[in-house]
Amino acid sequence: MTEIKFRPKAQILIQLGDQLIKNEGIALLELIKNSYDADATECEVNLSYLDSEMLGEIVVEDNGAGMSFETIRDVWMQPGNTHKKKQVDEEKKTKLGRLPIGEKGIGRFGIHKLGKEIEIITRSKGNLEVYFKIDWSKFDSNQFLDEIPITIEEREPQKFINSTGTRIQIRNIEQWNKRKFRETYRQIVSLNSPFESQESFKVNIKSTHDDWLEGMLNFGQIKQFALYRSTAKFKDGNIEDFKYEFLPYDNMSVKSRRIEKDIIPLNFFSDSKRKDPAKFFQDKSKNYMEQYGINDFSIELYVFDKSSDVTRFIMEDKKSFKDYLTENGGIRIFRDNMRVLDYGEKGNDWLNLDSKRVNNPASSLSNNIILGAISLKRNESRGLVEKANREGFIDNQSYEVFVNIIEKYLFEFTRERNIDKDRLRQSLKEDNKDLVDIIDDVGKEIKSLNVETKLKKQISNKLNRVKSEYKFIKETYVKTSSATSSYAIVIHEMEKIVKELSVISWNSEEIQRIDQLTHRLRDVIEGYTSILRNRRKSNYSVIEIINNALFNVEFRLEAHEISLDELYKDKNYKVLCDKGLIVSAIMNIIDNSIYWTHKSGKKQKKILIDTVLTEKDRVELIIADNGVGFQGNPEDMIRPFVGEKQGGLGLGLNIVNEIMNSQKGQLLFPENKDLDLPKEYQSGATIILSLPLSEG
């Protein structure tokens, strides 16, 4: 019989790191956690020139207890060493009263995620300074682990002369981009709970990439916009000190509300698809700590409202506000004030909040409106065991009880929140002035701005025009049957623009934006009011109508060097219509043709206009061009705010379609192959305006 021993290949350290440390952010967090375990009060992370493989460098330095030669040899260099786990089991706290966060003894072997060359300097109290290097590329070989020695040097202190601590310098990195940097920065910042004091352990981040952080908001900037806030503690089988607050913004008319409950018994509850918690609490003579290793933790919650009715009260950048919640929303877990990943990360809906909203969207919470933190104590949460890959707790019975406790708390919170959510919605409905009143308020704000008088007058004139036309279009939409669903969409679009104006109209620095918005308002509304007004129809010559339209665009056609094939001139049909509206429709279509023939880049740009009398006594006015043709489905382009012109309103063809409907006409998109058009027009766009032939 022969005894043999495991003899791992050097690659095992690389493989361990790859499988257990999934990205650079987690690798850095492991080093920072080691600083915490070493009783450091400060840890500095320096990220320099990460977009350069040659100059890129990461340095993690702390003022902790440091390591002696013996500690490095007997602990640090031994994968899977359990000395930290032993400290936890024996409740052996550090001088600062900490229990270790790490237990597995393998997190440091993910450093190769950050770079291939590692240089470590460390010193513990009363010992020499220790210096050594690791070249991770040597481990990516076919050698055995014990065949790659690490040379460790003990020396007189050069770095930590009158102090203790550890400095890890990482070089030969892979290039980072802005996205990776921002994500890693966010993970480092999220390591500490934002709700608790950071006096005992502080992480400072320094970087040469401050420009990559532009636009990133922090918790301090966001939390002021939380409408609903709550705190609570869990102890001895009950939820204690439950506090709930509804804190509307100063410019809201609804009143705040506060609720406090000393004790909320857990009893037996379940708001999830997990096991029946009634089976959990088997021995009522024992508390939760004895049975499940869970007790004495707290929770803090900030809940927001991302609806447009609410965000209009926020003066800051609404997009950044919503983006922050999308990236950071969720409930995170901290143990001894250090983050337990992956809870609260984007995509980790560990409480199934979003799936519950499918069944009850009106009353349930969603991850992307919550910023929450659960604060555990190490010695009071031993039943919650972290997975080796640092991605949450093992799904044991203790974890199931823990989840049910949080669900009970959220049930209590959501019940109170829904009361105030309804109150808020009612107040917003009452506060929602008619748009004419809001336009008046905007006009008053603009008059008081310290800007050029001529510009203020131009904006004021546009607002007055919009106000007048809005009154007309709203009354017509409500009172007549001639208004289609398009008008409802247009009115809704106008309401959004006016509300946006109301948010910025006080700010002189936004005058250009104000001018652009009022211009857009006018453009949106004027195309429709002309259709709705009661204009007289008469018999008109199609030649006369087309000539009027071409006269109005004559200079534009010349400027763009577009030639016309005027095949309509010898066909003198008459139609019953509102001449001005049909002229407007033709001009709109020609405007599109000018744009798309220009986009085609052809030397000879051409537009064809012809008329045809059909067997059904209808006159079809054909407009074709030799541009790029329709890029999408033409029928879709008649919908409001759908268009192909970059920067356009997307209303041109919709207005033309509404004009034709009002004239008992049709807007048609024929197949070019079905028409007898010259060859050069086969690849362009063709539109037909069909009108009833005059009976006179």
Does the structure show a pLDDT above 70 at 192?
no
The residue type at 673: K
Distance CA 466, CA 463 (A): 5
Token look-up 């007058």 returns: 457
Q: What is the pLDDT of residue 476?
A: 58
Give the torsion sign (CA, 553, 554, 555, 561): positive
User: CA-CA distance, 356 to 104, in Å (whole number)?
Assistant: 35
What pLDDT, on a 0 to 100 scale, did the predictor assign at position 606? 92
Residue type, 312: R
pTM above 0.85, yes or no: no
Q: What does the pLDDT read at residue 122?
A: 94
Q: Which residues of 266-300 are buried (b: 16+ CB within 10 A; e: fewer)?
A: beeeebbeeeebeebbeeeeeebbebbbbbbbbbb
Domain boundaries, the chain: 11-213, 219-424, 435-532, 538-692
Q: Which of 176-180, 186-190, 201-205, 533-537 has the lowest mean pLDDT?
A: 533-537
Cβ-in-10-Å burial (0-12, 13-18, 19+) of 617 comes to exposed
Please give the mean pLDDT across all residues of the chain: 79
Residue 270 near residue 377, CB atoms below 8 Å:
no
In the DSSP assignment, the letter for residue 9 is B
What token pair was written down for 373? 């933190």
- Say which residue, 489 or 5, is predicted with more confidence: 5
Q: 87-96, 217-226, 428-437: lowest mean pLDDT where?
A: 428-437
Cα–Cα dist 178/320, whole Å = 17
pLDDT in tens, 445-457: 888 888 888 888 8
Residue 297 confidence (pLDDT): 93
**Using one digit for the tens of pLDDT, what is the confidence trace for 86-112?**
776 666 777 877 777 665 555 666 677
Q: What superfamily does domain 538-692 belong to in CATH? A: Histidine kinase-like ATPase, C-terminal domain (3.30.565.10)
Return the structure tokens found at 72.
């490095």
For residues 303-308, average pLDDT: 85
CA–CA gap between residue 571 and residue 297 (Å, rounded): 87
CA–CA gap between residue 667 and residue 658 (Å, rounded): 9
Alpha helical stretches, state H, 432-541 = 435-447, 453-479, 485-504, 511-532
- Taking only the tens place, the pLDDT of each residue in 631-658 is 666 666 676 554 555 444 556 777 788 7
Q: C-alpha angle 111/117/120, rounded to 5°?
A: 75
**Band (156; pLDDT cuts 50, 70, 90):** very high
Block residue for tokens 């959510």: 421
CA distance 546 to 576: 14
Yes or no: say if 321 and 311 are a contact pair by the CB < 8 Å rule.
yes
> 179 in helix, strand or coil?
helix
How many CB atoms are located within 10 Å of the residue 581 CB? 22
Q: What is the pLDDT of residue 14?
A: 65
| Matching fold, domains 11-213 and 538-692 | yes
Is pLDDT at 622 greater than 90 in this prediction?
yes
pLDDT at 3 over 70: yes
Cα–Cα distance, 182 to 172 (Å, whole number): 20
Nearest-angstrom CA–CA distance, 425 and 432? 10
Q: What number of other Cβ atoms are within 10 A of residue 238's Cβ? A: 16
Q: Which long-range contacts (CB under 8 A, 24 or more apart) does 390-398 make?
A: 390/20, 390/21, 390/26, 390/29, 390/30, 390/107, 390/341, 390/342, 391/22, 391/341, 391/342, 392/340, 392/341, 392/342, 392/343, 392/348, 392/350, 393/340, 397/280, 397/292, 398/292, 398/293, 398/294
Beta bridge partners of 608: 565, 624
Q: Express each pLDDT in 313-357 by its tens digit.
A: 775 567 778 878 888 889 999 888 778 878 888 778 888 887 665
Beta bridge partners of 9: 144
> Beta partners for 265?
238
In the predicted model, is pLDDT for residue 80 greater than 70? no
Q: Where are the alpha helices (DSSP H) in 110-177?
A: none
**What is the average per-residue pLDDT within 291-304?**
91
Is a pLDDT exceeding 70 seen at residue 431?
A: no
Lowest-confidence pick of 49-58, 431-440, 599-608:
431-440
On the 0-12 / 13-18 / 19+ scale of CB atoms within 10 A, 526 is middle
Rounded (10°) CA dihedral 467, 472, 473, 477 = 140
Say which residues have a Cβ less than 8 Å from residue 95's Cβ, sequence separation at least 6: 39
**Would you tell me the crossing angle of helices 511-532 and 453-479 to the nearest 10 degrees?**
30
Is residue 685 scored above 80 in pLDDT?
yes
- Provide the CATH topology of domain 11-213: Heat Shock Protein 90 (3.30.565)
Determine which of 238-242, 258-262, 360-364, 598-602 has the lowest per-residue pLDDT on average. Answer: 360-364
Q: Which residues pair with 365 in a beta bridge?
A: none
